[in-house]
Amino acid sequence: MGASVTPPAGPDPEPDAGSGSTGRPGGLLLVAAGVCLEAVLLVGLAVMIAVELVRGASDSVGVSIFLVAFFAGVAWALVAATRALWSGRRGGRAPLVVWQIMQGLVGVSLLTSGPLWAVLGGVVLLLVAAAVLVALMTRRVVEATSG
């Protein structure tokens, strides 16, 4: 009667903590949410500059046009990189890391700029960049996006 009992083979009965219904790690959801916030802010800046340009309040038409195109282009690139990660491809990781570092540098420069709105904006930029960067580097996110 010394028969051993082995558990049935199959999926783990307890889902991983931090994974969504899609099986993606929670860190990837944090990355997507943070980058979505960044893209929305960039598009908002582009729209504000475009409105300023149309109203004739811009001191430099060329710079305003460049900034609108730049902010819209970076927002598009961030969304495309996030979609790549969401699909399990690693190609989007490098552009997102570079952007988080650049955003962190902007946040640090805003911390020393003086006005309260700039300091608060710098804190927000730093917090979002740090959260996304840390989430991008977690083992579960790297494993989920190494395809």
Q: How would residue 34 be classed by pLDDT, with cut points 50, 70 and 90?
A: very high
Identify the sign of the CA torsion 117, 119, 122, 127. negative
Global pTM? 0.79
User: What per-residue confidence (pLDDT) applies to 57?
Assistant: 86
Asked if 107 and 125 count as a contact pair (C-beta separation under 8 A), the reply is: yes
Q: Buried b / exposed e across 14-46, counting CB within 10 Å, b at 16+?
A: eeeeebeeeebbbbbbbbbebbeebbebbbebb
Q: pLDDT tens digits, residue range 81-106? A: 999 999 999 899 999 999 999 999 99
